[in-house]
Amino acid sequence: MKPSGIITLTTDFGQSDHYVAMMKGVILSINPNATIIDVTHQIPAHSIKEGSLIIKESYTYFPSGTVHVGIVDPGVGGTRRPLAILVDNHFFVGPDNGLFSPIIETQPHIQITHLNEKKYWLDSISPTFHGRDIFAPVAAHLSLGINPLSMGEKIDNPTLLPSPLPQKNNSDLMGEIIRVDHFGNLITNITEEHLGPFLISKDLIIRVGKVTVKKISTTYNDVPEGKPLALIGSSHLLEIAVNMGRAVDYLGLEYGVGTKVQVSSIDLSNSEK
C-alpha cells in the first residue's frame, strides 16, 4: 500500500502545553514532507472510549495510506503494548488499551503489530511520554513506506473494550449517551437503523433525563430557539440537542456520558416538554 504522507493526531493532551508540538517535531525530523493533521487534542483526559469513537468517525474521510496516531494513554509506561494496526488501507498507531476497539471489531481483515523493534523509536524513551518517543517516530516511518511487520511481531490478541449497544426492553429501546460534543449536543449509541421500527409510528417518544421529544427533526432550527430536539446527526447517530443552546446544560450537570436514553411508541409519562 502506497503511503499518503498524511499523519493525523488525536489525543487528550489539550492545547496549553508543548506536548503536541514535540510530537510534530519528531515526525518532521524523520519525514520533513509529512502532512500533519490535528483531528483533536481535546478528548477528555483518560477517556479511551470517547477517543475511540472520534478516531472511528474521522478516519474514513482521509485517503488510503494515511497514518492515524491515537493517544489516550492513562497506562503509559505500564504493561500495555504499543501497537501499529493496518486495516481498511489505513494505519493506526497507539496504545493497546482498547482505543482502536471500534475499528478492530468492525473490520474482517486486520494486521496488528506489537511495536517492540526499538530502532524505530527515539534513542531515549521516557516512561511517561510514549507519544513523542515511540508513536510519533513509528508514524513517521510508516508514512515513508516502512512495513509495520519490520517494526515488531504480529499479534492477534489486542485489548478490546465492550461496545455499548442499545437494548430492547419490552417494546422500548434503551440506549445511552456516549459523547458530548463541543456544542453541548448529546450523542447516543442509537443508529437510524435501530430507530427504524419506531420511525413509522406517529407516537414516537424519546426520553432522556427530564426531557421528552416526540419526533425526529431534520435540522436544529426545526424547533423554536431554546427548545430541545432529537435528530440523526452527521455521525448517523441519534443526538439530543437544543436549538441555539446546549443540551448538556439544558438537562443539567448530572446528565452526560452514560445517561440512559429511552425510545418508545407510547407516552406513559408527564415528563417536561
The full 3-state SS of 75-122, as one line of letters, equals: CCCCCCCEEEEEECCEEEEEECCCCCHHHHHHCCCEEEEEECCHHHCC
How far apart are alpha carbons 114 and 255 in whole angstroms? 38
| Per-residue pLDDT at 155 | 96
Asked if the model's pLDDT at residue 123 lies above 90, the reply is yes
pLDDT band at residue 106, thresholds of 50, 70 and 90?
confident
User: Measured in Å, how far apart are the chain's first and last C-alpha atoms?
Assistant: 53
Write out pLDDT tens, residues 3-35.
Answer: 999 999 999 999 999 999 999 999 999 999 999
Report the DSSP beta bridge partners of residue 240: 186, 230
Report the DSSP beta bridge partners of residue 260: 176
How far apart are alpha carbons 73 and 131 in whole angstroms? 9
Q: Can you say whether the dihedral through the CA atoms of 217, 229, 244, 222 is positive or negative? A: positive
Strands 90-95 and 67-71: parallel
Q: Can you say whether the dihedral through the CA atoms of 130, 136, 139, 145 is positive or negative? A: negative
Write out pLDDT tens, residues 157-214.
Answer: 999 998 778 998 888 999 999 999 999 999 999 998 888 878 776 688 999 988 999 9
Distance (Å) of CA 176 to CA 108, 134, 182, 242: 27, 35, 18, 18
How far apart are alpha carbons 174 and 231 in whole angstroms? 16
| Per-residue pLDDT at 268 | 44
Burial 122-145 (b: 16+ CB within 10 A, else e): beeeeeebbbbbbbbbbbbbbbee
Residues 70 and 55: beta-carbon distance below 8 Å: yes
Which residues fall within 8 angstroms of residue 162, CB to CB, at 6 or more apart?
A: none
pTM of the model: 0.89
Write out pLDDT tens, residues 234-268.
Answer: 989 999 999 999 999 998 867 788 899 999 986 44
| Per-residue pLDDT at 56 | 94
| Per-residue pLDDT at 201 | 67
